Amino acid sequence: MNESDTRLHKIDPQLKAAGWGVLDGSRITTEYTFTKGKISQTQKGKPKRADYVLIYKGVKLAIVEAKSDELSYAEGVDQAKQYADMLSIRFTYATNGNQIWEMDRKTMEEHFIAAYPSPEELWARTYGDVDEWRDKFNAQPYYDNGVKQPRYYQETAVRKVLEGIAKGEKRILLTLATGTGKTFIAFQIAYKLFETRWNLRKTNTRPKILFLADRNVLANQAKNDFGGFKDDAMVRIKPGSVAKNGQVPTNGSVFFTIFQTFMCGPNDSPYFGQYPKDFFDLIIIDECHRGGAKDESNWRGILEYFEPAVQLGLTATPRVDQNVNTYTYFTYHAYEYSLKQGIEDGFLTPFRHINMQSNIDDYIYSPEDEIVSGVVQQGRVYTEEDFYKGNIKIRQRDEARVKEFLAGIGETEKTLVFCATQAHAAEVRDMINAERKKKGYCQRVTANDGAAGEEYLSDFQDNEKTIPTVLTTSEKLSTGVNARNVRHIVLMRPVNSMIEFKQIIGRGTRIYDGKYYFTIWDFVHAYEKYAQPDWDGEPVCPKCGNNPCTCVVKPRGHRDDVAPTWTAHDDRPEPTPDDPNEKLEIVLPDHRVRRIKFINSIMFWGADGKPVSAQKFIEEMFGRLPDFFQSSADLHKMWADPETREALLDKMNEAGYGKDILCDIRKLIDAENCDLLDVLEYIAYATTPIERKERAQRLTGYTNNLGDAQKQFIEYMINAYVQSGIDELRMDKLKTLLELKFGSVGEGITALGGVPNARQTFKDFQYHLYA
């Protein structure tokens, strides 16, 4: 039987006999699609879809992957394991209806079973204990407004946090890449706590929840995202209203404020001290790795004052040296969802990183250069760091960079440009406007721009508006910019930390219709951060192999439970020159400006989730190609049939080597007029690429032996292939080609002698093309 019949006649009855879909509280979800498929302009990835998900008491307990009874159960084992791991489900099964292979992803035990376990049995094996609050949380449905439902990783994050709360965990951390919906997750957590009437006082009352951010825009966005609560349940704490009323608000269930507001207050008495220490049951700290360094003690004071509350930290930055205290303070690491996984799943937009190098990146003084101010050091190499710190300024250097990236972006494509200082952001803004000559095209948004800057940002985030198209900034826009249609990020200043680098990249990862990728234009060697082990994920200590590290002996008196040291971008001082004397400013003569040249190199997304150089990517791909074909003859055989060719390309796409990647490599090897087959053979066997036109000319002998209608159709297909490449040779293109050549599909089929002959002509042509 085929798979559908196997499921209907064998697997479905077996699951029913075990009580699934029969016992109250149990249900079966079939064809459960839980990813969107990686975004690509040429070849969208396939969504991941589990054949069966077994659910009991609101919890997904098992995966079942089905195969035809004509195949081995083993054909579904790898998929069953992958899906269970992604969904954080302990038990998973592979079956062909005759045999059932059970896999426990916790103990790693695997074996045959005679029948599926019942819902009660699987529940007991998964949890093994009675937990009243855990079961209440699981039984409480998510908030559903009919528009937005939780994604699989959001469900897992909510479940993991609530399981931690049920167990009595007090300091909980969620790490999810920017753009994956941390605030939505926080809302669903708060909603379940609210509806189940959980609280630390163990009374049948609604909990008091505080959402704490470090910027007003984030607090306001969060309040909007908590729309499932009634307006009178939500309270926005603002310093003006507190001062007017003479006290902090206490009527409400969910409170939103920023740290700075809580630290204000008359007579050096901060407002947060007006609340009882046990007033809040849950405190959600947004972007918990950040905060005001200059107010460190006060910020620590807020969290330590509300010590009785469960504190949930939200961050987009996996553990790095600069973030270590965050991971120490929040001791229960509930869940992590990485940038790499978000891109692979299709919930985040992929990006291309272009390393921009020029002969003016470093500067050595020449006597023909004009010194406008300051004192030059003869023979000194002034590096990017010197320009960033303000030790030297050459306006023409920035003008050349502006012209270079503007030449590579569409005039209406929204762009963020990160500059060294607020003054530098103003200068770059003026350079961009001088090039584009369009009113309001580029605006600066920095801390000094106040309300006007916030209005520019609001217009930029509005996808219905095209002005401003470009924003320049120094630090402010590295976080808190919920703009879904950002197509370009330009780095014209060094990126100081991995935390900041990932936050900046997060400005472009949000998905938007028609947005297949965004581009990072890197003038400052930020690409070097990809080589660091903490680029994506939470690395273990290389010495002890643990996370957190257990091999470092902590000093006597060390406390793990002190609040983290925060680092706010808005509060960071701007770079200052090493030499306090007058800044060195240089003007280059015209002939030196004309000699400024850029070398742009595209980086590719490696298998380990890190962008790598073209050379390293091709070397990596060379090692993987034997997984897809065994020889040149094998490759030609698959390529000559449109159906096996598409299957091969789909398989390569799933492995990270899709058509868009092959097209980029084709440009690198200067073979844009060649077939993608030539790209694969070039990498695998070092053969010289053949242009499509030359390949097509080899068909002359073949076409001379055909009838007039077939010959004309094949000549038409040859022309389409030479002009546009292999996409014209897909089976789903046949109808279009017939219509374009003969006026209608019906006339084309008649001319070629029927449907079978038309299909055979299409396939025979390709067989001879790639012979």
What are the backbone angles phi and psi of residue 203, rounded to the nearest 5°?
Answer: -110, 160
Q: Is the pTM of this model over 0.85?
A: no
> Domains of the chain by range and CATH?
3-126 (3.90.1570.30), 148-345 (3.40.50.300), 352-525+574-587 (3.40.50.300), 613-690 (no CATH), 694-769 (no CATH)
**Which tokens in the block code for residue 287?**
């972007």
| Whether the predicted pLDDT of 569 surpasses 60 | no
Q: How far apart are CA 610 and CA 616, in angstroms?
A: 11
Inter-residue contact 258 to 212 (CB < 8 Å): yes
Q: How far apart are CA 262 and CA 301, in angstroms?
A: 10
**Which tokens in the block code for residue 620?**
């990596």
Q: How far apart are CA 577 and CA 579, in angstroms?
A: 5
SS3 605: strand
**Segment 80-106 mean pLDDT:** 95
What confidence tens digit (pLDDT) does each residue in 344-358 have? 899 998 888 888 888
What confidence tens digit (pLDDT) does each residue in 206-238 have? 999 998 887 766 777 777 788 788 878 888 888
Q: How far apart are CA 352 and CA 132, in angstroms?
A: 48
Cβ-based neighbours of 361, under 8 Å, separated by 6 or more: 383, 384, 523
More confident residue, 20 or 665: 20
Is residue 331 very low, low, confident or very high in pLDDT (cuts 50, 70, 90)?
A: confident
Cβ-based neighbours of 697, under 8 Å, separated by 6 or more: none
CB burial readout 573-597, b (16+ within 10 A) else e: eebebeeeeeebebebeeebeeebe
Q: How far is CA 117 from CA 515, 524, 611, 730, in A?
A: 45, 58, 44, 46
| Whether the predicted pLDDT of 18 surpasses 90 | yes
Q: How far apart are CA 320 and CA 448, in angstroms?
A: 30
Q: Which of 128-132, 157-161, 317-321, 567-571 has the lowest mean pLDDT?
A: 567-571
| Whether the predicted pLDDT of 490 surpasses 90 | yes
212: closest CA among 261, 257, 176?
257
192: closest CA among 153, 135, 240?
135
SS3 128: coil
- Which H or E run contains 405? helix 395-406
Q: How far apart are CA 326 and CA 323, in angstroms?
A: 6
Task: For the beta carbon of residue 222, count every other beta carbon within 10 angstroms.
Answer: 23
Q: Read off the amino acid at residue 21.
A: G
Is residue 535 very low, low, confident or very high in pLDDT (cuts 50, 70, 90)?
A: low
CB burial readout 710-723, b (16+ within 10 A) else e: bebbbbebbebbbe
Q: Read off the amino acid at residue 675.
A: D
Average pLDDT, the chain: 83
Centroid of chain to Cα 309 = 32
What confidence tens digit (pLDDT) does each residue in 232-284 have? 888 888 877 777 777 888 888 889 888 778 877 777 788 888 889 999 999 99
SS3 596: coil
